[in-house]
């Protein structure tokens, strides 16, 4: 029986290690490597066509309301399309107890406007605005009319609501690995359901240890039962 | 004088106590491998309930809205009319918490901070916001059985918060998955004497990543899978042990239940009718008994048909419970020649006399390898290509082994059991034929959308498990368990890997 157990345990172990290696290096794109962490997506980008959101005069101002600033919203990315005449802009993030103003000069035409942000101590909801500072310049931000992308923020240009969603994405400043992200991931799950994060840790431990061990145990017990059973008549 | 011992208090629920004692006794005597596999199913099912972001399963917001409207108002939502597809509560969750764009954008994240949740709760206090999702609902033409059961569960859930209730609605699927695995074991017990083979058959079902994923989202496919597993097991029992009125009633009840759960359950009815016919042919009951059996079979079919009609006739689903993927029909004319060509080219290369397929980019690999084993969320969560390559190689070797095992053991083991094999083949062929037919009809309207995804194959999970069992059985008593261990080990890793990529996609 012990020999049979070896015959079961070894293939399971080999299969597990092979799959684990495959998963880590080839199968799961994020498991073994550091990656940029998207921390919030108030409004996502378009699928098919870009809806241009233009700032064409000095003082033109585009805003998104209902933006959540949190300790994770460390860098904001605002995609633009090429215009040939990008100008300097003022970036403003404001919420109760939180205010950031940055002037951004000469970023590459048509590339993302990237702004590093100090973060609030606790999450707050506020507004994000960009103002064109120079005359005879032209900036086109990326927007979308697609219903699949509809989200909470309302975009305005010079105070007037626009139908399009203005694509806004927040990142964390440093890339992280899957293992680094686990506590945050379980915390996020806990926020949108009822078990506490500690209970999810317990569940995770049971799954990670229990599934491989359970498979081995089930097969081993089955073979033991077959060995103990009387031979068929 | 006082009695020496106090009289024993009678249990207020003697029946329940006896039932509990019997259940405990059954559990103690149940095969240990089965108990372990059931435990694995439960653990994976519960984990999946939390892994997929709220309302981000396939069409989950529509399914939840159906259940909520039924539970809150007693009415099925409209299919084509109404004032709101989702209730105010579901709509707030989708937009205030950012769950709506997540369905389509792989990098999108939910708004999960305390500030977002406070805003959501502040805007969602009014109970009236739970009752205004009267339609149009994209799944309102689905038959009502799963939604009726979930609506009862919705009412008894301990929290009124939608996010909490959603977890409870998902957890409802865990017992269904346990039943699926139990019926798979019972079917395996009819096919194999050896416990290790039963364990392999049941194990590939228990740790199948797609079963776990569908257990963790609100979707009638969970109940459909269970009913199919029950139908397959009872069909085998009936063919093997004989036709009785009770078995006929249960079989037709299960078939009708599947049809009342999802349009894709309709093929189970002809399949179980074939099982009844084979059992009748095998055991030849007399005319009087045949009549009793026929009546017993007809009653549940009629009862479920009437209930389905009554529940759905109050809405604009046209009194019919089937729509969308089952009866959708595009503008172009149906052509059997084109359909045949499409099915051929789904599996094989185009022959010289064939026109190009209506959809030539979606075939065997996409359905049976990629989507059956490993595409999750709203079809955007996938492994890397190399994983599917490996699965495809293993599947090809498995099919060759299965063919070899059937050929090698036909005379000695299988020929005498041809009615059971015919039933299993019929379930498989009828189900897949219906899937292709529905897909083809849909593609007449929209050739880009094949409307054929891996979870549609989950009802055939017991057949898949039995096929794996036959294949490894053919390898003999020395090599068979080793290969079986490798298959289950690989499956376990696939299951854990799918959970990991889902966690990263939604929560990382």
**pLDDT tens digit sequence for B125-179:** 999 999 999 989 999 999 999 999 999 999 999 888 999 999 999 999 999 999 9
Task: Please judge whether B110 and A184 are an interchain contact, meaning their C-beta atoms are less than 8 angstroms apart.
Answer: no
Collect all residues with Cβ–Cβ distance below 8 Å to B42 and sequence separation of at least 6: B174, B177, B178
Residue B104, pLDDT score: 84
* C-alpha to C-alpha distance for B387 and B500, rounded to whole angstroms: 14
On the question of pLDDT at A2 being above 90, the answer is: no
Chain B CB contacts of A229 below 8 Å: 195
Question: How much is the ipTM here?
Answer: 0.91
Running DSSP on this structure, what letter comes out for residue A176?
B
| Region of residue A209 (phi > 0: left; psi between -120 and 50: alpha; otherwise: beta) | alpha
CA proximity to B225, closest of B491, B495, B462 = B462
Residue B478, pLDDT score: 84
Task: Please judge whether A215 and B493 are an interchain contact, meaning their C-beta atoms are less than 8 angstroms apart.
Answer: no
Going by pLDDT thresholds of 50, 70 and 90, the confidence category of residue B448 is confident
Indicate the range of A132-146, B24-38, B39-53, B355-369 predicted with least confidence. Answer: B24-38
On the question of pLDDT at A179 being above 90, the answer is: no
Long-range residue pairs from B425-430, CB within 8 A, at least 24 positions apart, any chain: B426/B270, B426/B271, B426/B274, B427/B228, B427/B231, B427/B232, B427/B235, B427/B267, B427/B268, B427/B271, B427/B460, B427/B463, B428/B460, B428/B463, B430/B267, B430/B270, B430/B271
Q: What is the pLDDT of residues B366-382, one digit of tens each?
A: 999 999 998 999 888 99
Which of B48, B160, B508 should one mutate to test binding to chain A, selecting the residue with the greatest count of A CBs within 10 A? Answer: B508
Going by pLDDT thresholds of 50, 70 and 90, the confidence category of residue B317 is low
Given a contact cutoff of 8 angstroms between Cβ atoms, the answer to whether B117 and A191 are in contact is yes
Running DSSP on this structure, what letter comes out for residue B158?
S
* C-alpha to C-alpha distance for B482 and B504, rounded to whole angstroms: 33
* C-alpha to C-alpha distance for A218 and A41, rounded to whole angstroms: 44
Min Cα separation A182/chain B (Å)? 8
Residue holding tokens 């999750």?
B376
Collect all residues with Cβ–Cβ distance below 8 Å to B399 and sequence separation of at least 6: none
Model-level pTM?
0.91
Going by pLDDT thresholds of 50, 70 and 90, the confidence category of residue B329 is low
Q: What is the pLDDT of residues B344-365, one digit of tens each?
A: 999 999 999 999 999 888 999 9
Indicate the range of A74-78, B372-376, B459-463 predicted with least confidence. Answer: B372-376
Given a contact cutoff of 8 angstroms between Cβ atoms, the answer to whether A24 and B502 are in contact is no
Contact of B149 with chain A, judged by CB distance below 8 Å, is answered with no
Residue B84, pLDDT score: 95
Residue A3, pLDDT score: 64
How many contacts (CB atoms, under 8 Å) link A and B?
Answer: 248
Min Cα separation B32/chain A (Å)? 7
The helix (H) or strand (E) run that includes residue B250 is: helix B245-259
Residue holding tokens 């007809």?
B298
Residue B5, pLDDT score: 47
**Alpha helices, DSSP H, located in B260-312:** 268-283, 287-312
* C-alpha to C-alpha distance for A229 and A227, rounded to whole angstroms: 6
On the question of pLDDT at B472 being above 90, the answer is: yes
Chain A CB contacts of B383 below 8 Å: 23, 27-28
Q: Are strands B381-382 and A61-69 parallel, antiparallel or unpaired?
A: unpaired
What φ, ψ does residue B293 adopt, rounded to 5°?
-65, -40
On the question of pLDDT at A35 being above 90, the answer is: no
Residue B7, pLDDT score: 46
Residue B9, pLDDT score: 47
Q: Which of B47, B98, B496 is opposite residue A152, by nearest beta carbon?
A: B98
Min Cα separation B376/chain A (Å)? 13
Residue B323, pLDDT score: 55
């Amino acid at each position: 029986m012990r020999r049979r157990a070896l015959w079961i345990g070894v293939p399971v172990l080999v299969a597990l290690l092979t799959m684990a290696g495959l998963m880590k290096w080839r199968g799961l794109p994020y498991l073994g490597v550091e990656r940029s962490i998207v921390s919030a997506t108030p409004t996502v980008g378009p699928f098919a066509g870009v809806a241009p959101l233009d700032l064409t005069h000095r003082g033109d101002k585009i805003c998104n309301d209902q933006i959540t600033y949190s300790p994770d919203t460390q860098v904001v990315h605002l995609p633009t399309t090429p215009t040939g005449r990008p100008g300097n802009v003022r970036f403003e993030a404001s919420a109760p107890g939180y205010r950031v103003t940055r002037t951004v000069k000469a970023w590459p035409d048509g590339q993302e406007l990237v702004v590093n942000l100090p973060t609030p101590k606790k999450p707050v909801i506020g507004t994000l605005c960009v103002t064109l500072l120079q005359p005879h310049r032209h900036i086109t931000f990326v927007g979308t009319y697609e219903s699949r992308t509809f989200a909470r923020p309302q975009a305005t240009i010079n105070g007037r609501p626009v139908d399009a969603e203005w694509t806004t994405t927040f990142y964390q400043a440093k890339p992280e690995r899957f293992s680094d992200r686990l506590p945050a991931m379980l915390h996020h799950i806990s926020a949108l359901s009822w078990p506490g994060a500690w209970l999810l840790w317990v569940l995770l431990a049971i799954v990670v240890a229990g599934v491989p061990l359970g498979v081995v145990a089930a097969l081993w017990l089955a073979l033991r039962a077959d060995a103990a059973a009387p031979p068929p008549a | 004088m006082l009695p020496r011992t106090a009289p024993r208090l009678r249990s207020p629920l003697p029946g329940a106590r006896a039932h509990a004692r019997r259940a405990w006794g059954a559990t103690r005597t149940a095969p240990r491998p089965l108990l372990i596999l059931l435990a694995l199913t439960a653990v994976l099912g519960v984990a999946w309930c939390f892994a997929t972001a709220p309302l981000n399963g396939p069409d989950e917001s529509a399914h939840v809205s159906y259940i909520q409207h039924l539970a809150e108002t007693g009415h099925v939502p409209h299919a084509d009319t109404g004032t709101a597809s989702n209730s105010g509560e579901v709509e707030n969750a989708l937009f205030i918490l950012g769950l709506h764009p997540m369905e389509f954008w792989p990098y999108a994240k939910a708004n999960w901070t305390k500030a977002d949740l406070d805003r959501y709760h502040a805007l969602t206090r009014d109970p009236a916001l739970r009752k205004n999702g009267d339609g149009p609902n994209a799944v309102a033409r689905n038959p009502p059985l799963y939604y009726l059961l979930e609506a009862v569960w919705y009412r008894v859930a301990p929290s009124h918060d939608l996010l909490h209730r959603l977890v409870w609605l998902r957890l409802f699927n865990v017992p269904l998955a346990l039943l699926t695995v139990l019926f798979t074991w019972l079917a395996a017990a009819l096919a194999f004497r050896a416990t290790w083979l039963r364990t392999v058959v049941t194990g590939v079902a228990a740790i199948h990543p797609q079963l776990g994923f569908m257990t963790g989202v609100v979707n009638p496919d969970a109940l459909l899978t269970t009913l199919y597993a029950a139908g397959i097991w009872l069909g085998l029992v009936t063919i093997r042990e004989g036709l009785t009125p009770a078995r006929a009633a249960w079989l037709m009840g299960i078939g009708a239940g599947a049809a009342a759960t999802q349009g894709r359950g309709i093929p189970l009815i002809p399949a179980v009718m074939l099982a009844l016919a084979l059992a009748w042919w095998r055991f030849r009951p007399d005319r009087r008994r045949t009549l009793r059996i026929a009546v017993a079979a007809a009653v549940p079919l009629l009862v479920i048909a009437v209930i389905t009609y009554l529940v759905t006739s109050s809405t604009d689903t046209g009194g019919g419970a089937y729509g969308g993927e089952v009866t959708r029909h595009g503008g172009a004319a149906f052509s059997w020649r084109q359909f045949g060509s499409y099915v051929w080219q789904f599996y094989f290369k185009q022959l010289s006399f064939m026109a190009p397929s209506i959809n030539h980019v979606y075939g065997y690999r996409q359905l049976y390898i990629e989507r059956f084993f490993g595409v999750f969320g709203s079809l955007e969560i996938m492994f890397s290509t190399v994983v599917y390559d490996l699965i495809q190689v293993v599947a090809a070797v498995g099919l060759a082994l299965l063919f070899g095992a059937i050929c090698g053991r036909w005379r000695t083991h299988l020929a005498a059991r041809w009615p059971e094999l015919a039933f299993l083949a019929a379930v498989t062929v009828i189900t897949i034929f219906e899937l292709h037919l529905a897909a083809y009809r849909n593609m007449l309207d929209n050739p880009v959308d094949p409307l054929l995804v891996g979870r549609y194959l989950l009802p055939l999970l017991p057949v898949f498990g039995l096929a794996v069992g036959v294949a490894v059985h053919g390898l003999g008593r020395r090599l068979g368990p080793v290969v079986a261990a490798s298959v289950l080990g690989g499956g376990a890793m696939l299951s854990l890997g799918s959970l990991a990529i889902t966690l990263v996609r939604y929560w990382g």
